[in-house]
Structure 1
Amino acid sequence: RLRAIVSAIEMKEDRNTEEDCNVDGHESDNATPLSQIVEFFASAFDRQQAQKDGAITPSKGVNAEFDHCEDTIAECIVELEEYLQAQKKVLGESELRYEHVLMDRYQIEVPERAWKKIPSSYELKSSKKGTKRFWTPKLEVLIKKLEDAEGARDTSRSRILYDLMKKLMDYFHALSSAISSLGELDVFCCLAVYSSQPEMVKPQVLNTSTDLPSLFIESGRHPIICASEEASSTFVPNDITLCQGDGSGRSILLTGPNMGGKSTLMRQTCLLTLLAQIGSFVPASSMSFHPVDRIFTRMGAADKIMEGKSTFLVELAETVTILNNSTEHSLVIMDELGRGTSTFDGTAIATAVFFFLTHKRKCRMMFSTHYHDLARIFSDDNLVSFQHMVRTSESFCFRIRF
């Protein structure tokens, strides 16, 4: 699976390189192929063994210093074994063997029957019933060589992680590019799987140079809700039209009861626009739109106590951002603006903001409100489309307890 992923990334980056060459007129610098980089780090050490030991032991060929220490240790062990075989001949005792006692390793254990043959160069280190253990000058030299090699290996091993990280940084740009490409491939695969679901449609992008910015959605469904079979079965699709050819209906003034679906419809419109603009299919019967430069939302009610900002102040601050930065190509969603203050003041704020965004910024906008005075104030404005969310229920039970 890893090789398949690396292959896909390399194919994508090769295509990007070809496009860059076509644009710039020159080839990019040849870098180490990603497959070689990944293969190096994948085989640099045994991960399971590292987790078990709590230390990294590099594979052969990864670290020259560590390899040299390992070779030296192997040579010492061979020399120690050869020395033991030689002492067996000297003493005429085939059962000589090495014993490790605490910190004194490689003590030659001699049985009692061979004690009379022990040379004077043998130094007694320990004993037990029927056996004695010795070191010799030659043996001490071999043990010292072995311990030095083991110490150098441990020192080298302690620097392995640093060396690997340093080598990783040498490939930083290649790996960073690969991660970016992997992220793009992940998005493309997700969009492909999502777009292959039933009742999805390819949105049509309209010409921005000849028409007024508009948005048309027929039988649109919320992308998240329609992902749930249970919720999708009861979800009611909705049509959205923002800005006709003559500019009428640029803004929607949306009213309706609480839990009637106003906020869901507005979020749905934003999500479908975003999905369409990044190249995805959308859950709708049809959709056509002019691309947006930004999507602005002013929804919900929350304060920022730690910053000393009340709900009303947060609401106004977000509104100011929209007023200052929106353009005729923006999509603006505002949910019950003015709820953080009195009805009179809230109506005044909502009226002024709605008028400014509709007539000055000329952006496409959905504006939900419980201030029905706005419908009366803008009743003769052909740039405004009036929509009302209705909730129907087959059964209703209302109970008041005191």
Structure 2
Amino acid sequence: MTGLTRRRLLLGTAAAAAAGGVFGIGDLARAALPGRASQAGGPLRIGYLPITDAAPLLLAHSAALYPAGLVSSAKPVMFRSWSALGEAFVTGKVDVVHLLMPMAVQLRYALGGGVRVLGWNHTNGSALTVAPHIHDLADLAGTQVAIPFWWSIHNIVLQQLLRSHGLRPVVRRSASRSAGTVELIVMSPADMVPALANRSIGGYVVADPFNAVAQIKKIGRIHTFLGDVWRDHACCVLVTRDDVIAQRSGAIAQLTDAVVGAQLLLNADRAGAAKALGGGNYLPQPVPAIQLALTYPEAPYRLAHPDWRPERVGFDPFPFPSFTQRLVEAMGETVIDGDRRFLDRLDPTRVHADLVDDHFVRSALARHGGPAAFGLATTLTREEQVHPA
């Protein structure tokens, strides 16, 4: 870590968790990015957060879909927060992760590093959960709402919802009920449930199973599935680095193929996947919470777009260019506490071609029954539908 001590690195990461910037490790990351892939022939290192977003990576391990020696026989490495996972990824401690799509954009263009999206890990799977006394969105005025990371689909869609209901998101400023403002704070997903239980926040927006946990424990309720605002949006994506692809393209092809196979398994047997992953096997939450998050047999509120099936997490691997463009445009409209100047250099129509390498997932799709196996159009195109009102 030339020119940067471990202490400074950790301080930079901690600051970034609050500021949502570039982790405070730009120089380190730029110096460390090249040549950090696992040794040729050695196992790829996988990192994840304990949320259902990670299910394809984890089920591929549980079901032994990874070819022998491709990844470590030990379980993938679990991290507590997005900032910790991001630090491990950019500094080469892990090679493949599931990452928030807006965070992948930030890491590539704010750091100038070789972050590369291979495909989508899942669609939907997140919600705004509120305290029992919150009935309408207007009731959030004057409260704090927790988000998992500034550059997240959670923050983006939450702000779209708030603005569409006459509320204004603010950062580093106390919320005011009379002014119709809502203060946004970054919080580790694992800390959100107790924070809602003790009423220190009015709500949180996050991936499952933390929304399902609040429902089961009756400490809060799901107010809005994010998929009820942005149809089949990508939350987490499968990510590696350019140096890993350059040195181990065959291994990345095998890993992508295994993840796509795991997505098919998830779609075929969600209850079985919940048992394989939950209860401390890979995810610390109890199996009933994981199963509820993967199934939601009954919608917990009157859905705005029931035909979208927003309560159902989807495991569709193909990264649609239309989503990337709309996402980058939405990032430009989102309030964050951190450096956002990198967005000024981006042309939303060109980001997808530079950020995403979809040839691995296209090959994997062909081996697993084609787009039809996932209910996708054979043209692999779509039109984004975003309705926050």
Q: Which has the higher helix share?
A: 1
The TM-score bracket by the shorter chain reads under 0.3
TM-score (normalizing by structure 2):
0.21
Q: Kindly indicate whether structure 1 or structure 2 has the higher relative contact order, using CA contacts under 8 Å at least 6 residues apart.
A: 2
Structure showing greater Rg: 1
